[in-house]
Amino acid sequence: MKFNVKTVLQRSPRLGELSQIAGKLDVCLETPLALLHTQAGHIPHITHEVLKLVTQEPHFLQIPVVSMHNYLEAIHLYDGRVADFVGSKDSLTCVTLNDPSNLMKQGHHNKDKVPIFTKRGKVLYDSENYMDMVEKLRPDMYIILSDGDTNMTSSNKRVSKAVENTVSFNQRCIERHKKSEKLKDAFVIAPIAGGYCVKSRKQCLELLSPNEPDVQGYLIDGLHNNGPEVELISFSEVKPIVDYVISKLPPGKLRAIQGCWSPLNIIKLVNSGIDIFDTSYCRILTERSAALTFAIDAGEASESYEINLRHGKFSEDFQPVLKECKCVACQGYSRAYIHHLLTVQELLGSVLIMVHNIHHMLRFFQKIRDSVREDKLNELEDRVAAQIKLLHCHKEQLASSELSRNSTE
């Protein structure tokens, strides 16, 4: 697999493409791109068959090792690629260690090992057993093992240890990759650790540089501990680190970031030069019964950035989730029906919301690519920012009215 950049500026929105994919030479994916977040190879709430109703376009499935570990015995007995194992043979796959939609437990570190927390408890992975798993899964793309357990509050000692571990993992995984016949066509992404310390990021980059010819992309890791809290991170907090790291990376390498970033922050990260994201944000939205309704195109009608379909006001609202949306959920079901499904705890309610959210997110990324091509990304950012501002104002008004009502009682 090859990554080619169509634009050459260092810190700017850019278009690129992933092509020459082994076994799928006719497939070419344009970046900025969203990997479809999965748990054990399945998008939360929807099946592979339902996904085909959402999109027929080529796509990447993000496969977290933490969700595949429970099937370790079956994986070792299976002689095939992970796409076939999970029943989605036409999909491309990218293996990563942790699930970006789940909050990662902090601590529990051992020398030369990182913990993951499965349904069966804590499991420690070192470079060898991680690469054993990657070799068995045989993905099209994978992220090298790293110590990403840092955030804004991490101590200098923890950040320093994260860099030390990540560099060690990188060296050992690269050595193993070079010897592997099964992974010879895999696209390798190297994580960059260092938390919010520029000095530590610089150290990590310098120590990783000898292996630069052996990797095709880089992941800016260690900005958060995954989960819903990522949605609330202010871009101003991560911008200095993102800008610094990108300024030091070779311009021809792919740049990735993981997590439940809000659409507005996704645009800002694209503006900084990030190429690859994931759709874990759709999962956290769906599990709070929220559907994305922000306007993507200029002149598109939208009453809110998102709506929560559990709210009683939708019990007799027979409009689709979003007018003019072409997804299966909006074409065949109303807000009132989905509200009813959620109220009686029918599984179909979450299925329909997830279908809509994935469709909306994929359409959003297509708009991002078009906007970069037409030099109109700032217009899209302003449009989304204005709708988020209206949402916050509405929430403040509701909170104020609730407070007034409680005080009168």
45 is in an annotated binding site: no
Judgement on whether residues 72 and 31 belong to the same structural domain of the protein: yes
pLDDT at 7: 77
Judgement on whether residues 172 and 36 belong to the same structural domain of the protein: yes
330 is in an annotated binding site: yes
Judgement on whether residues 243 and 361 belong to the same structural domain of the protein: no
Which of 286, 301, 335 corresponds to the end of one domain? 286
Judgement on whether residues 17 and 60 belong to the same structural domain of the protein: yes
Q: How far apart are CA 326 and CA 329, in angstroms?
A: 8
389 falls in which pLDDT band (50, 70, 90)? confident
349 falls in which pLDDT band (50, 70, 90)? very high
356 is in an annotated binding site: yes
Judgement on whether residues 64 and 204 belong to the same structural domain of the protein: yes
pLDDT at 400: 57
Judgement on whether residues 295 and 280 belong to the same structural domain of the protein: no
pLDDT in tens, 98-111: 999 999 998 777 88
301 falls in which pLDDT band (50, 70, 90)? confident
Judgement on whether residues 257 and 295 belong to the same structural domain of the protein: no
Q: Tell me the pTM.
A: 0.94
Three-state DSSP string of 289-335: CEEECCCCCCCCCCCCCEEECCCHHHCCCCCCCCCCCCCHHHHHCCH
Q: How many domains does the chain have?
A: 2
Which residues, including other chains, have CB under 8 Å from residue 23's CB and lie 6 or more apart? none
Judgement on whether residues 317 and 172 belong to the same structural domain of the protein: no
Judgement on whether residues 170 and 242 belong to the same structural domain of the protein: yes
pLDDT in tens, 143-184: 999 999 999 999 999 999 999 999 999 999 999 999 999 999
Question: What does the pLDDT average to over 132-137?
Answer: 98
399 pLDDT exceeds 60? Answer: no
Which of 243, 270, 286 corresponds to the end of one domain? 286
Domain that holds residue 229: 2-286
Tokens of residue 68, six digits = 């595949």
CATH number (domain holding residue 141) = 3.20.20.105
Question: What does the pLDDT average to over 366-381?
Answer: 95
Judgement on whether residues 154 and 208 belong to the same structural domain of the protein: yes
- C-alpha pair distances (Å), 208 with each of 165, 168, 251: 12, 9, 16
Which of 286, 302, 319 corresponds to the end of one domain? 286
pLDDT in tens, 199-240: 999 999 999 999 999 999 999 999 999 999 999 999 999 999
DSSP string of 124-165, one letter each residue: EE-HHHHHHHHHHH--SEEEPP------TT--HHHHHHHHHH
395 falls in which pLDDT band (50, 70, 90)? low
User: Do 93 and 1 contact (CB within 8 A), yes or no?
Assistant: no
Judgement on whether residues 107 and 210 belong to the same structural domain of the protein: yes
Judgement on whether residues 219 and 305 belong to the same structural domain of the protein: no
Tokens of residue 385, six digits = 């920012």
Q: How far apart are CA 309 and CA 207, in angstroms?
A: 49
Report which of residues 299 and 396 the model is more confident about. 299
pLDDT at 322: 96
